[in-house]
Amino acid sequence: MNRYSIINPSILIGDRSLDDQLEQVRQAGYSAVELWWPFASPNPSTGEVDAFLGTLEKSGLGLVAMNSYEGGMAEGNRGIACWPDVDSDFDSSILVAERVVRETGCAGINVLYGVRSNEESVEIQDDRAADRTARAAEMLDPAGAVVTIEQLSHIPGYGLRTIADVQAALTRARSKAARGRILIQVDLFHMFQVGDDVARFFTDSWRDIGHVQVADAPGRGVPGTGEQPIDELLDLLSAQGYERTVALEYSAYDGDDPFAWPS
């Protein structure tokens, strides 16, 4: 698997139980995972969090990154940072994330911007998302985790669709944070989809990157199934001095084995 020892099973085999997901990841030879929000609500019970942590510990896998509450992925939501009237839900999910960070060593919590409403100005929603992202960074800093933000190119109405959108959001959030670190979660698939200049971004802004997710394009398969020079780009990023995490986040595969790589 070359440089890839981390994978996101949430996107790949998320229809299976977490225990089954992690066991398959372990058997496939990976050492760590990143995960979407693993609970049904923003404020799971202590018992639910205990069970999640127990399942993760039993697997023997590390946890390097996790989404905060996304508003219900099954319903098509991708974050709540820009939504009105959800401060309690947002803060509850960050408090849960803080416990996960403290007990697992998870390095980053990803705060998704969300789909904008047509009933408020973009500026109001941008400002609200920046406030919450900054607050998450302040809450998670004592536990040692960074907050990341990312683009999503395929969700209609999502607030951050290009890397330029993410960089603008990063500036807004950092201006509001009294403490903590806010970085960018790079998803190469989305950068490829919108035609972002990955090489230039890696050269000019690598210090702003907190985590990298990898899938080829088109198709969102493993590297080598699309048309992108992924290895060359990751070599470039490493040459700049990037030493943080890189994870596979593909969803398409051929045959019966979701972990099989092209020959």
The 10s digit of each residue's pLDDT in 151-179 is: 999 899 999 999 999 999 999 999 999 99
Please give the pLDDT value at position 252. Answer: 95
Average pLDDT score over the chain: 96
Please give the pLDDT value at position 263. Answer: 57
Extract the runs of DSSP E, i.e. beta strands, from the chain: 6-7, 32-35, 62-67, 108-110, 146-149, 182-187, 209-214, 245-248
**Burial of residue 171 (number of CB atoms within 10 Å: 0-12, 13-18, 19+):** exposed
CATH numbers and ranges of domains, the chain: 6-248 (3.20.20.150)
The 10s digit of each residue's pLDDT in 42-65 is: 999 999 999 999 999 999 999 999
The 10s digit of each residue's pLDDT in 19-32 is: 999 999 999 999 99
What is the set of active-site residues?
150, 249
Supply the Cα-derived Rg of the chain in whole angstroms. Answer: 17
**Which ranges of the chain have pLDDT less than 50?**
1
